[in-house]
């Protein structure tokens, strides 16, 4: 891998990871114990992830910008027995003093390349996303999931090998990051890590490392177009660009293909299953078309009674297959809601067109997708209601050309409540992308006849915006 500090060979990365793995085993952890990855450096987080793959421990990547309260919640929810970190700044982290601390920067130990030799159902990682109750949900990723995912990504979708360099601009805690790191390990490819995820530093890294493949949300594609101006083929080594997470505008896809003289792709995936569908031909872009169902994935479109709908009719998308998570970590309630007779309920509405392509139409749930990140309104509503000056709270999505959707929070509160202070309250308790872009105070919440807050009516309400 390569970052602003220099390059690290695969052999050196494995040797560093072996030292961390040995330290974990000496610390007395048992097979299946969870290990939080609390690294500011993406390279160090990758070392920690490889170390857990060398053992029978479970990686729990934590977003580097996660505030202490949210991080402490993940340590509790996962039952972490240890943490791997490249720093020691844990004074504000509740519970950090009760688990083992392992440095990601130990003296390397020579070793062979690791192999995923455990059973397919052995848990490799927990990727945390917020649940509909506001409590964190840990998506269980098994070794079988990783192997099935990388089979599809390496051979069918990304189509990369040991001559390729992949841009890594997403943290390991995001499914984009996990997928890219796992793909690079499987293919023997190089990872290029920008200093920070900004257009200028991304371009710098791509030029420095001669990146051949990049992936991100469509917003990233727009930023790259803007940053390169009218320059023709400013990244001559770039072969493929994947833009997914929100709908990809065909005009943007064509502009990127022309500017960078590369292939542009889109697809359909989620933390619980990567990939589900893939589109390699941008000529077929339009509407919510995300391509053909991935090999090894079974997909069913059903009505509200879980009966299959007629071809071309919309319904809820259910999936099953080796890429699909076996469930949420120690969360029977979430698992009961997410699975039906062995099928995973994606919460998305879609249909299969005459060409066999999946078209995404809408979301069954109230999940908000912003810049490729998943946001559950109930978590933010809970944070807002915890403020002593707030009465009721409701969070909805607002369409946004750049990031797909933005988070908007409505609340009732005392007249003296300062929305700037409320925003700070949220920033102290939420990862950045979950903080409402707009905060709107209303005198009273509109209600449905059944006594629930009417979010549909809220979209038409005017209030005081922060």
Give 264-289 pLDDT, tens digit per residue: 999 999 999 999 999 887 777 776 78
What pTM value is reported for the model?
A: 0.82
360: closest CA among 342, 369, 348?
A: 348
At residue 133, the pLDDT reads 36
160: closest CA among 136, 186, 139?
A: 186
Poorest-pLDDT segment among 186-200, 204-218, 299-313, 352-366: 352-366
Question: What's the rounded mean pLDDT across residues 45-53?
Answer: 97
Sole residue written with tokens 């009966």: 307
Please state, in angstroms and rounded to a whole number, the distance separating the CA atoms of residues 209 and 193: 9
Poorest-pLDDT segment among 93-107, 243-257, 444-458: 444-458
Beta-bridged to residue 297, according to DSSP, are 321
Helix (H, G, I), strand (E, B) or coil at 408: strand
Question: What's the rounded mean pLDDT across residues 23-35?
Answer: 96
Burial of 336 (0-12, 13-18, 19+ CB in 10 A): exposed
Write the pLDDT tens digit of every residue in 140-191. Answer: 999 999 999 999 999 999 999 999 999 999 999 989 999 999 999 999 999 9
Q: Express as a percent the part of the chain with pLDDT over 70.
A: 95
User: Strands, E, within 45-203: which ranges?
Assistant: 58-61, 82-85, 100-103, 123-130, 136-142, 165-167, 190-192
User: Strands, E, within 353-445: which ranges?
Assistant: 357-363, 368-370, 373-375, 390-400, 404-413, 438-441
Q: Express as a percent the part of the chain with pLDDT over 90.
A: 68
Helix (H, G, I), strand (E, B) or coil at 61: strand
How high does pLDDT run on average in the chain? 90
Cβ 342 vs Cβ 306: under 8 Å: no
Helix (H, G, I), strand (E, B) or coil at 200: helix
Please state, in angstroms and as integers, the Cα–Cα distance from residue 57 to each residue in 13, 49, 139, 330, following that order: 18, 10, 16, 16
At residue 452, the pLDDT reads 67
Write the pLDDT tens digit of every residue in 339-380. Answer: 999 999 999 888 998 888 998 876 676 778 898 887 878 789
Neighbouring residues of 194: CB distance < 8 A, sequence distance ≥ 6: 3, 4, 167, 169, 201, 202, 204, 205
Max CA distance (Å), the chain: 68
Burial of 72 (0-12, 13-18, 19+ CB in 10 A): middle
Please state, in angstroms and rounded to a whole number, the distance separating the CA atoms of residues 446 and 300: 37
Distance between first and last Cα of the chain = 42
Neighbouring residues of 45: CB distance < 8 A, sequence distance ≥ 6: 37, 39, 61, 64, 104, 171, 172
Q: Which two tokens stand for residue 277?
A: 């569908």
* Residue that wins the pLDDT comparison between 458 and 32: 32
**DSSP annotation of 353:** -
Tell whether the model's pLDDT for residue 450 goes beyond 90.
no
Question: What's the rounded mean pLDDT across residues 385-404?
Answer: 91
Q: Which domains occur in the chain, in start order?
A: 143-300+345-365 (3.40.50.12780), 368-465 (3.30.300.30)
User: Strands, E, within 39-109: which ranges?
Assistant: 58-61, 82-85, 100-103
Cβ 279 vs Cβ 266: under 8 Å: yes
Cβ 155 vs Cβ 134: under 8 Å: no
Backbone torsions φ then ψ of 386, nearest 5 degrees: -70, -20
């Amino acid at each position: 891998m390569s970052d602003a500090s220099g390059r690290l060979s695969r052999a050196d990365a494995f040797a560093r990871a072996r030292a961390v793995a040995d330290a974990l085993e000496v610390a007395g952890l048992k097979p299946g114990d969870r290990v939080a990855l609390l690294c500011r450096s993406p390279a160090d987080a990758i070392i920690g992830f490889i170390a857990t793959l060398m053992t029978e421990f479970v990686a729990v990547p934590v977003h580097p910008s996660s505030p202490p309260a949210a991080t402490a919640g993940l340590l509790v929810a996962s039952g972490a027995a240890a943490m791997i970190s490249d720093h020691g700044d844990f004074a504000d982290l509740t519970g950090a003093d009760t688990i083992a601390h392992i440095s990601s920067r130990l003296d390397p130990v020579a070793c062979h390349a690791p192999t995923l030799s455990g059973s397919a159902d052995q848990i490799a990682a927990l990727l945390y996303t917020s649940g509909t109750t506001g409590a964190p949900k840990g998506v269980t990723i098994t070794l079988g999931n990783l192997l099935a995912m990388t089979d599809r990504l390496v051979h069918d979708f990304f189509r990369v090998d040991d001559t390729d360099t992949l841009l890594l601009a997403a943290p390991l805690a995001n499914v984009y990051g996990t997928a890219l790191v796992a793909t690079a390990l499987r293919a023997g490819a190089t990872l290029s890590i920008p200093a920070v995820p900004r257009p200028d530093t991304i371009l710098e890294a791509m030029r420095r490392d001669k990146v051949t493949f990049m992936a991100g949300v469509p917003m990233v594609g727009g930023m790259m177009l803007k940053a390169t101006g009218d320059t023709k083929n400013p990244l001559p080594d770039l072969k493929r660009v994947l833009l997914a997470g929100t709908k990809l505008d065909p005009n943007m896809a064509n502009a990127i293909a022309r500017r960078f003289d590369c292939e542009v792709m889109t697809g359909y995936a989620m933390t619980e299953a990567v990939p589900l569908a893939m589109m390699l031909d941008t000529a077929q872009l339009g509407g919510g078309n995300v391509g053909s169902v991935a090999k090894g994935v079974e997909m069913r479109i059903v009505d509200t009674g879980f009966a299959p709908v007629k071809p071309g009719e919309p319904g809820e998308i259910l999936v099953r297959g080796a890429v699909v998570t076996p469930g949420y970590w120690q969360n029977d309630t979430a698992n009961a809601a997410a699975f039906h007779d062995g099928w995973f309920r994606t919460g998305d509405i879609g249909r299969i067109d005459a060409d066999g392509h999946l078209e995404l139409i809408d979301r069954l749930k109230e999940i908000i997708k912003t810049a490729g990140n998943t946001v559950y309104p109930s978590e933010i509503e809970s944070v807002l209601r915890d403020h002593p000056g707030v009465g009721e709270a409701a969070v909805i999505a607002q369409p946004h050309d750049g990031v797909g959707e933005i988070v908007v929070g409505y609340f009732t509160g005392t007249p003296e409540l300062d929305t700037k202070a409320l925003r700070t309250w949220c920033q102290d308790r939420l990862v950045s992308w979950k903080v409402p872009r707009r905060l709107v105070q209303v005198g009273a919440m509109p209600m449905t006849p059944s006594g629930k807050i009417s979010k549909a009516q809220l979209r038409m309400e005017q209030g005081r915006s922060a």
